[in-house]
Structure 1
């Protein structure tokens, strides 16, 4: 029998609807959106520490996260990735999760989507890069919940990709992340490129050239009224200096189109707003 939402829904979907809470479904949606998340990232997204809430301490939040993820795993809708990050001393927060095929089918059936997603065993480079992208997004969402700004748009791959025409040929722009934040007065639009320090500078410049062609094409500006800043997020100052020098040295690139920041300084660029004194936490 063909695996479609229509054929899968009558039995399994009703069973999962009975056992999955609203928060469980949000966890599935985040795993679908980000592809991979650690237990620690899921805790920050869904089990925020709040002295007046259900998770009054970090330890309580971690325990609740582990308890819920274990329960949802037993339902067969999420799965642990066999690889771990950071070695054995990082504990359960370093456990990596992905959507299981049953979880993907559940979400597809809920929205009537016939397109199946292929599952495989992710490699080390893919895991590192995917989690680094997620970390930028989780950090922005987490900080926004403390007040001071909103996350208006957060698009991951491949939703944030753009197709344009350049020289009569189709060209695809593939950002790692599109992030739009705003306070009461301003908005900040950013195409994010998460660099692990392993890409050679010629490849960096080639990707910058695609961004510059996209900027000159004008379709993104016509759609949203501006072209987002291109923000390269790198591991450290040494790598930042190397990328900045490489981009500036390329006479074919406009360096004003690109910003290079370290991971520690990324949020100040992506959400450059004054912090709020009001604090809230995710439910």
Structure 2
């Protein structure tokens, strides 16, 4: 049966039959939009024996796909050698309808008002979205290791926030992390494309204006802004742009290599 023919009652019945791991997979896909097979393994199958992780993941995802709860996209990542771990998954139409029912307290801001058939985006857009997903996975792994507690994570449009002037600040993600009694709130920019210095200046200036006006983010404070980049040359370009911004930019922004992002979040949290 196709998802379009699932009645609300049938969606509810389907949700009732989901395991805790099924629910967690759907929640995470609703949160970050796409996850690769490798990322799903690290999130939800990491505790299995190495000999059974891939087989179990493939079986679970095939079952969820059979109900249109998840959908494999046409484009894989990592090349032919990546195998099934390189497959990329999104919520299917039934999954989009099911997620808001999983937990009445769960924030479903990332869910579209009307479920629609997932489509495979271009390579650049997909890599950018998967990079945001990777940041989420790494934060979950840091929590698992006891380095922090991940209180909240939102991606893409779910992370956008009113700027107090009738517009929005549009980070790629936002997060709230804690260690002990300390909490830090972050807006996150995952910079992968080669934007001009002026485009970057205008983008970052919105955060400066937001902070200068005393605007508060989703966690009741003005978030810091974490800017991640793929390589050292780009890092120097970003830092050059940030250095020319007015106060409080010097206290607001942190620019790091993507691979060092979670380490930096933990470092700031422990200061």
Please, what TM-score do these two structures have when normalized by structure 2? 0.85
Gaps of 5+ in 2: none
Q: Deviations over 1:202-250 (max 9, x none)?
A: 22111101111111221216x7453221110100111111110122135
Higher mean displacement: 109-118 or 142-151: 109-118
Q: Secondary structure at the match of 2:151?
A: strand
CA distance in 1, matches of 2:252, 2:15: 47
Question: Which residue number in structure 2 is paired with residue 256 of structure 1?
Answer: 251
Q: What SS does the corresponding residue of 1:48 show, helix, strand or coil?
A: coil
Q: Distance in 2 between matches of 1:18 and 1:118?
A: 22
SS, match of residue 72 in structure 1: helix
Are the equivalent residues in 2 in contact too, given 1:247–1:253 (CA < 8 A)? no
- Contact kept? 2:77, 2:86, Cα under 8 Å: yes
- The worse-fitting range, judged by mean Cα deviation, of 198-207 and 250-259 is 250-259
Q: Which has the larger radius of gyration?
A: 1
Take 1:257 and 1:210, find their aligned partners in 2: how far apart are those partners? 12
Tell me the alpha carbon deviations over residues 147-203 of structure 1, each in whole angstroms, 9 at most, x when there is no partner. Answer: 13211121223222111333xxx1210111111211124222211100114322222
Q: Distance in 1 between matches of 2:180 and 2:11?
A: 45
Matches within 5 A, 1:1-283: 8-14=7-13, 16-17=14-15, 19-49=17-47, 55-57=48-50, 59-108=51-100, 115-119=113-117, 120-166=119-165, 170-220=166-216, 224=219, 226-250=221-245, 254-272=249-267
How many residues in Structure 1 have an aligned counterpart in Structure 2?
Answer: 260
RMSD (Å) for aligned C-alpha atoms: 2.7
What are structure 1's unaligned runs of at least 5 residues? 50-54, 275-283
What TM-score results when the alignment is normalised by the length of structure 1?
0.82
**Structure 1 residues 138 and 110 mapped into 2: Cα distance closer, same or farther (>3 Å)?**
closer
SS in 1 for 2:21: helix
* Bigger relative CO (Cα 8 Å, ≥ 6 apart): 1
